[in-house]
Structures are given as structure tokens and as C-alpha cells.
Amino acid sequence: MLGEQDVVYYPEDLALLGSVFDHAVASLPPSMQTEANRAEIAKNILRRAATGERDPVELGRAALANLMGNASA
């Protein structure tokens, strides 16, 4: 669960994570840009970032990883 780790993000990290989030959401078709998917994308990014990942490509992959199966939603 996300709340199990204490993680501190610097302003530069938050800017990166926000950019990755925005790009991931924008890459989805409008029908998939739901609040549930947006929340899942945010959780995915934060989980991966909590491991120390800062590569935007890797964070972007993680953001959408489990949404690909919902492409027909």
C-alpha cells in the first residue's frame, strides 16, 4: 500500500511526477480519462517513484502498465 512508506519528494521530483502524470493521462483516449484511471495512474507513478525511479520513460511505462488491459473500456 502506498501509505506504508515515508517518502519525501523535492520540488524538482514533484514537477517531474506531475509532468509524467499529465503526459500519461493525455495519451489515453478521452473515454479512458476517468477519475478511476487518473487515480490508478497517480498510484502507479508514486509506487515506482518510491523505489527511487526518476527516469520519465520508465515512470511513464509504470503509469500505464495495468491500464492497457482496459483499453476497450
Q: With contact defined as beta carbons under 8 Å apart, do 13 and 54 qualify?
A: yes
Is position 73 within any domain? no
pLDDT tens digits, residue range 4-55? 568 889 999 999 999 999 999 999 999 999 999 999 999 999 999 999 999 9
Range of the domain at 52: 2-67
Cell numbers for 14, please give them. 514533484
Is position 33 within any domain? yes
Write down the pLDDT at residue 72: 43
How far apart are the C-alpha atoms of 63 and 26, rounded to whole Å? Answer: 12
Supply the angle between the helices 56-64 and 11-26 in degrees, to the nearest 10.
Answer: 50
Task: Look at the chain and report how many structural domains it folds into.
Answer: 1
Q: With contact defined as beta carbons under 8 Å apart, do 59 and 43 qualify?
A: no
Confidence of residue 69 (pLDDT cuts 50, 70, 90): low
Write down the pLDDT at residue 73: 40
Is position 72 within any domain? no
Please give the model's pTM, rounded to 2 decimal places. 0.84
